[in-house]
């Protein structure tokens, strides 16, 4: 009798595990409807042969990341609209927002994940749908938030591959230099023209792709992750700034609030940077108009006199982002581009703006997808 019960239990367990494995492996593609419209919100300067800085503020949702092909369709539609308006040329530098690559972590998942009502529920579906990847990632997770680390790390190899194929492909397809926002990866590095990952800490990093679709230089790692991410994402302790040569001139990338530190602009000036791109992200609906919360867990530079609560988040971004504000920055142009959209219960804020001749330009309306153009 005991042997019979043992055999019955074993068979039931095997059947349950087999059913679970089949369920986890099944990735049906759901229906997909997405708004591909985008408006030209700001167009500053006079067309010449010096090129232009073109910011794309996309409006993105979890279903846009159901496959790299879907995300390509949306971003390519934005670039096609820019091309039709004469905004793309051999010297164009396109800037995408912070974390536009990070959400590739949810690519290729089950419908239940995209239909979740909260980010926490979606991450639970991510883990349960990829049990082996999740367990391996959790074993190698670092920092104070091992669960968040594991979620970001578990699909990193595929994310790096998709990131390069997608954004490098867009750069090559439209023959532009592309600042591919940012992506969170463990120890990212470019080896022989290919983006690779390591086994160490997670970094929020940005890669610039040339007109041939190949990365230019090394990934720029963020120096000052905001406090919401500090438990999972490590700061670039070396504080190095990688400058790349583009057809429009020397380009520097400052991710997020790295653009709030005056010393970073001095470092870029020392390397004769002409153009500054700022991929950015502000979480929370309405945050842009709410009181500024300060340097978000990082130390405040001694030369900054702003006080918490004295101005709004948006006003702080305009005051602290010093692109093209002599003598603070010797760059001739700069652009801060924010990610817009809704990821489950997590909304985003931020209103993209460009900088030229000591002035900031924006359209005053953050709703929907936006193009911002600055002729250099």
Q: Mean pLDDT, to the nearest integer, of 107-136?
A: 94
Q: Mean pLDDT, to the nearest integer, of 213-217?
A: 97
Sorting pLDDT into bands at 50, 70 and 90, what band is 1?
low
Where do runs of H (alpha helix) occur along the chain? 2-25, 68-84, 111-114, 119-129, 131-139, 146-153, 156-163, 169-174, 262-270, 313-320
Average per-residue pLDDT in the chain?
Answer: 88
CB distance 309 to 251 below 8 Å? no
Q: In what order do the strands lie in the sheet with 282-283?
A: 59-60, 340-343, 346-349, 282-283
Q: How far is CA 217 from CA 173, 244, 318, in A?
A: 20, 6, 29
Per-residue pLDDT for 26 more than 90?
Answer: no
Sorting pLDDT into bands at 50, 70 and 90, what band is 3?
low
pLDDT at 9 (0 to 100)? 45
The residue behind tokens 């001139």 is 249
Sorting pLDDT into bands at 50, 70 and 90, what band is 284?
confident
- Other C-beta atoms lying within 10 Å of the C-beta of residue 26: 10
Cα–Cα distance, 365 to 293 (Å, whole number) = 22
Q: What is the pLDDT of residues 128-176, one digit of tens each?
A: 999 999 999 998 888 778 889 999 999 999 999 999 999 999 999 999 9
pLDDT at 300 (0 to 100)? 83
- Other C-beta atoms lying within 10 Å of the C-beta of residue 327: 9
Closest to 278 in 3D by CA, of 200, 354, 176:
354
Cα–Cα distance, 126 to 143 (Å, whole number) = 20
> Which tokens hold the place of 185?
């990866």
pLDDT above 90: percentage of residues in the chain: 69
Domains and CATH numbers, the chain: 31-107+155-375 (3.60.110.10)
Q: Mean pLDDT, to the nearest integer, of 300-310?
A: 85
Among 63-77, 273-287, 297-311, name the one with the lowest average pLDDT.
Answer: 297-311
Per-residue pLDDT for 261 more than 60?
Answer: yes
User: Longest Cα pair distance anywhere in the chain, in angstroms?
Assistant: 88
Query: What's the residue count for the chain?
Result: 376
Q: How far is CA 305 from CA 13, 288, 295, 296, 310, in A?
A: 64, 20, 12, 16, 11
Q: Mean pLDDT, to the nearest integer, of 49-70?
A: 96
| In the chain, beta strands by DSSP E | 39-44, 52-57, 59-60, 92-95, 177-179, 183-186, 189-191, 194-196, 202-209, 215-221, 244-246, 249-253, 275-280, 282-283, 333-338, 340-343, 346-349, 353-356, 359-361, 370-375
Burial profile 232-249: b = 16 or more Cβ within 10 angstroms, e = fewer: bbbbbeeeebbbbebebb
- Other C-beta atoms lying within 10 Å of the C-beta of residue 66: 22
């Amino acid at each position: 009798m005991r042997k019979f019960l043992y055999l019955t239990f074993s068979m039931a367990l095997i059947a349950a595990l087999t059913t679970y494995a089949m369920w986890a492996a099944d990735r049906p593609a759901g229906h997909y409807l997405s708004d591909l419209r985008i408006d030209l919100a700001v167009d500053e300067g006079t067309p010449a042969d010096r090129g232009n800085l073109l910011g794309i503020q996309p409006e993105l949702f979890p279903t846009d990341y159901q496959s790299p092909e879907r995300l390509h369709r949306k971003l390519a539609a934005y670039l096609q609209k820019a091309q039709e308006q004469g905004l793309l040329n051999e010297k164009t530098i396109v800037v995408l927002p912070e974390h536009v690559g990070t959400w590739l972590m949810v690519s290729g998942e089950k419908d239940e994940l995209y239909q979740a009502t909260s980010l926490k529920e979606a991450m639970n579906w991510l883990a349960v749908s990829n049990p082996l990847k999740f367990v391996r990632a959790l074993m190698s997770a670092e920092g104070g938030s091992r669960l968040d680390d594991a979620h970001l790390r578990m699909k990193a190899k595929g994310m790096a591959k998709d990131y390069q194929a997608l954004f490098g492909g867009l750069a090559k397809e439209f023959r532009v230099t592309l600042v591919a926002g940012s992506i969170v990866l463990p120890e990212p590095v470019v080896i022989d023209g290919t983006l690779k990952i390591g086994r160490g800490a997670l970094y929020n990093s940005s890669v610039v792709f040339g007109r041939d679709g190949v990365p230019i230089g090394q990934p720029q790692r963020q120096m000052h992750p905001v406090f919401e991410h500090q438990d999972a994402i490590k700061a670039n302790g070396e504080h190095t700034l990688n400058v790349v040569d583009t057809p429009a001139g020397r380009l520097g990338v400052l991710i997020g609030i790295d653009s709030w530190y005056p010393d970073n602009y001095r470092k870029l000036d020392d390397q004769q940077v002409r153009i500054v791109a700022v991929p950015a992200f502000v979480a929370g609906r309405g945050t842009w108009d709410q009181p500024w919360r300060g340097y978000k867990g990082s130390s405040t530079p001694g030369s900054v006199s702003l006080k918490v609560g004295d101005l709004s988040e948006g006003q702080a971004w305009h005051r602290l982002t010093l692109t093209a504000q002599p003598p603070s920055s010797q760059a001739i142009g700069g652009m801060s581009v924010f990610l817009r959209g809704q990821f489950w219960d997590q909304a985003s804020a931020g209103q993209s703006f460009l900088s030229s001749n000591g002035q900031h330009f924006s359209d005053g309306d953050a709703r929907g997808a936006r193009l911002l153009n600055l002729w250099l």
